[in-house]
Amino acid sequence: MTARVGVVTFPGSLDDGDAARAVRIAGAEPVRLWHGDPDLHGVDAVVLPGGFSYGDYLRCGAIARFAPVMETIVDAAQGGLPVLGICNGFQILCEAHLLPGALTRNQHLHFRNRDQVLRIESAGTAWTNAFQPGQEVLIPVKNGEGCYVADTATLDQLEAEGRVVARYVGGNPNGSQRDIAAITNAAGNVVGIMPHPEHAVEELTGPSLDGLGFFTSVLKHLVGAPA
């Protein structure tokens, strides 16, 4: 049976269509989810896409965190549902306390848009099992508030528990502490990533096909998950 992966649309979402396309290219059925509808319609995994949910008012992701769909997603994620937050989705996951830390203004105070090399640090998550630890991938980054910050104790805990999923290589585009580009929760089912894997799934439009592995990983994870 084909896996069904939900892609949430918030007011101001920008990359929900791209995320749905990446899900389809990976071999799953994309299911569009609406911010105001708490029903997840039986999906097997969820992607929170990039963009500017609710216009980034108050703080990036601060309002989206209270959307009806997020109440359901938080409960489901705590129960093991795989959730990937990309860019604004990463910010929402932090605001919802599914992931620690926060994403703040880029240290140089400029929006940064470029192709970025990442090093995969953890291949043990639901969204990165298609990679090898230490593997380098090329994925676009585009953000103005992508600087990952956390207190020293939290950063040390992430390192000690192997929960840093990816780091920036060849230059840090936003000043994120310890070059962190992606992290996971303790269970490995929730991942937040600032760069955009959904923009690196086709030769025609992407700098590589490296982003596809994030989406095929969750399908592999779902096949191995208990019924």
Active site (catalytic) residues: 87, 196, 198
Query: How many CA atoms lie within 13 Å of 73's alpha carbon, on the beta-carbon side?
Result: 32
β-pairing, 4-9 with 45-48?
parallel
Residue type, 91: Q
Residue 152 corresponds to which tokens in the numbers above?
Answer: 């020293």
Token pair 């359901």 is found at 72
Q: Which of 6, 86, 99 is nearest to 49 (CA)?
A: 86
CA distance 87 to 214: 14
DSSP output for 101-151: SEEE--TT-S-EEEEEEEEE----STTTTTS-TT-EEEEEEEESS-EEE--
Measured distance CA(117)–CA(30) in Å, rounded? 27
Burial of 80 (0-12, 13-18, 19+ CB in 10 A): middle
